[in-house]
Structure 1
Amino acid sequence: MSEPNDDRFYFRQLLSGRDFAVGDQLASQMVNFVYALGDRRTGDCVLVDPAYDPAGLVDAVEADGMSVTGVLATHYHADHIGGSMMGYDIAGIAGLLERVSCPIHVQRDEIPWVLRSSGVTEDQLVGHDSADVVSVGDLEIQLVHTPGHTPGSQCFLVGGKLVSGDTLFLDGCGRTDLPGSDPQLMVESLTRLAKVDDDIVLYPGHRYSIASSATMGSVKQSNYIFDQVLGT
């Protein structure tokens, strides 16, 4: 897969409660990251996990001259794609589709979970397998199935960056005690991610560390999960 031209590669990391959903107490507490990935020349971009304030996220990328032409969902949890959580109703992909018409790209095993929780219908989803590529303009985004946190958790590899959702954080990994979680599958997924090149930069689904991103090489050295769970 070819690397995107840096001049064309549009990339934004947006933090809930700071860059969007400002004033939303839950969004501020959950410190979710939403990512915008696109091709500046064509103006097309996709949003990764647009929750809390989908209209505000569309406004943010449109202010950059970009148009939302798709959504990539890392997994079904409400703080990533909308739905009910802890007594709160969180806006997400269903609300985004009221603003723009675009496909929602999910891992195939996640489809029934997304349908139960998000308020969208199956015809609005595109199911994928691991190693599938989603094209945005001339930008190619590789999908990496990383089950464990949920059955269809997936990461996105593009332009020297790994957007990891709740599979891998700078410190630790996603929980495996929730509906659909599987500790053994998480170990297998983390083993797969341990093989990602050291110079790839990890961008997680939450800001659980002071830093917002780090190279995989430094994460492999500092994240206890690679030592305690994988023994690397």
Structure 2
Amino acid sequence: MYFRQLLSGRDFAVRDPLARQMVNFCYLIGDRETREAVMVDPAYHVDDLLDLLAEDDMTLSGVLATHFHPDHVGGNMMGCSIEGVAALLERQGTKIHLQAPEAELVRKTTGISMSDMELHAPGDVVSVGAIDIELLHTPGHTPGSQCFLVGGALVAGDTLFLEGCGRTDLPGSDPAAMYRSLHDTLAKVPDSAVLFPGHRYSVDASATMGQTRQTNYVFKPRSEAQWLMMFGQG
């Protein structure tokens, strides 16, 4: 498996102050035999990302989006215009893979058309060469947030960080759904899997799920009621 974790403002978009501030991760996942790869959450400077892919002699075959927020797929944010999937799809004729509940939100945020999207249901698999990527629907941060389980890695977007989880006080967020995503849906992910988050909000850039479950406060509540009290919803 081909796998790269790229930090905005350091590995790409190095001259973009917003990219340095937001510390987003973009991921490249592919098959070293077929030289195909997908990008996860390309934003800020897509030519940099395409150049990095080309340097590795890999060809883009698709895009995976964890959710619709502009720092992950492009769009307007904090008065700034962020380049993202719209520019990437103009350069490369491919599709963006989304959970169905996120489609309209991505369309409004990025301006891409529905024909640019491949819509999925929970548990669908996207194959890149011989590499299978399982799509886990994990609503809470947004209605169609999704994580990607591939090999021994969980690419989690803003669903789960090494410390904390994505905000649940934004439009479209749902604290109860976030609890179920973390405690039920992600329960299938083994402790040995390595968590790769959507932002670098911690010293380490990755950790095993076992370590994360032991140290991250989001796994401390033992019931949905306790969770909602912790988040001021009870």
- The match for 1:199 is 192
Q: Give the direction of change, closer, same or farther, for the CA distance of 1:229–1:32 in structure 2 (3 Å limit).
A: farther
> Are 2:43 and 1:43 aligned?
no
d(CA) in 1 for partners of 2:81 and 2:22?
14
1:100–1:225 Cα change, 3 Å: same
- The whole-number CA distance in structure 1 between the counterparts of 2:165 and 2:194 is 16
Identity of aligned residues (%): 59
- State the superposition RMSD in angstroms: 1.2
The equivalent of 1:189 in structure 2 is 181
Q: SS of the counterpart of 1:152?
A: coil
The residue aligned with 2:23 is 31
Corresponding position: 1:157 with 2:157: no
8 Å CA contact 1:44, 1:69 repeated in 2:
yes
Q: Which runs of 5+ in 2 are unaligned?
A: 228-234
Q: Quick one: distance in 2 between partners of 1:68 and 1:219?
A: 31
2:232 matched residue in structure 1: none
Contact 1:16/1:22 (8 A) holds in 2 = yes
* Structure 1 residue 187: Cα displacement: 0.7
- Are residues 204 and 103 of structure 1, via their aligned partners in 2, closer, same or farther at CA, if it must alter by over 3 Å? same
1:54-65 equivalent positions in 2, closer than 5 A: 54-65=46-57
The equivalences for 1:50-129 within 5 A come to 50-129=42-121
The equivalent of 1:208 in structure 2 is 201
Amino acid at match of 1:150: T
Distance in 1 between the 2:137 and 2:188 partners? 14
Give the whole-Å Cα distance in 2 for the aligned partners of 1:195 and 1:221: 16
For the Cα contact (< 8 Å) 1:187–1:229, is it kept in 2? Answer: no
* Preserved CA contact (<8 Å) 1:194 1:220: no
Distance 1:64 1:95 in 2: 21
TM-score normalised by L of structure 1: 0.94
Given that residues 10 and 38 in structure 1 are in contact (C-alpha distance below 8 angstroms), is that contact kept between their aligned partners in structure 2?
A: yes
Aligned residues: 224
Q: Is 1:148 aligned to 2:177, yes or no?
A: no
Q: State the Cα distance separating 1:98 from its structure 2 match.
A: 1.7
Which structure 1 residue ranges, 5 or more long, are not aligned? 1-8
Selected match of 1:224 from 217, 221, 227: 217
| Partner SS state of residue 98, structure 1 | helix
Shift of residue 229, structure 1, vs aligned partner: 6.5
Measured in 1, the distance between the counterparts of 2:169 and 2:2 equals 35
Distance 2:159 2:28 in 1: 19
- AA of the residue aligned to 2:167: R
Tell me, what secondary structure is at the counterpart of 1:164? Answer: strand
